[in-house]
Amino acid sequence: MKLVFATHNAHKLREVQQLLPSEIELLSLDDIGCTEEIPETGETLEANAKLKADFVTKKYGLPCFSDDTGLLIDALGGAPGVYSARYAGPQKNAKDNMAKVLSELNDNDQRTAHFKTVVHLNFKGESFVFDGIVNGSIVQVAQGTNGFGYDPIFRPDGYDTTFGELSDATKNSISHRGKAIRKLASFFKNSDL
């Protein structure tokens, strides 16, 4: 079965493909020829995930899921939250985003945070929502080069290393996206493809 993941991010596509049943052929937006920027104008992660999945399903007539992820930092009142990808500006630069977070936290000892991923699936005329959360804290200095986004500054609870220092397999086993995608994968294992 062909299923569209509404992303242009090849790293995310690989990460998610590893978690889905082998009968599912995962396609990216590039694979279906969708090159336009899908507006993310929602005020919540849930709203943005729905906007992206609905756009693809309506325009291309394909089953699709989309995710939206936010880093929510307690000392920053939940920021960057829904604006995580473009926190430091519309260029969506991960290094700039991390630098802004570290600058805003500065010497603040309150560094607790969590990642949240919301997945919205359009499948056989119905919509389904799955989510995943991982708690942790923001380190003082970026560490590691694995992953993407804020991974080098986020240390998950129970670990001495950041997401940026963990292997893909370890990160997938504990991450917010991994949790949400495992719920999606479980849905497909228990449904008629």
Q: In whole angstroms, give the CA distance from residue 53 to residue 81.
A: 20
Token reading at 120? 């919205």
> Kind of pairing, strands 64-73 and 112-123?
antiparallel
Residues 6+ apart with CB under 8 A from 86: 92, 97
Q: Where are the alpha helices (DSSP H) in 112-175?
A: 168-174
Judged by phi (left if over 0) then psi (alpha if -120 to 50, else beta), residue 149 lies in left
Longest dimension (CA), the chain: 53
Element (H, E) at 105: helix 94-105
**From the CA atom positions of the chain, what is the Rg in Å?**
16
Q: Which of the residues are catalytic?
A: 68
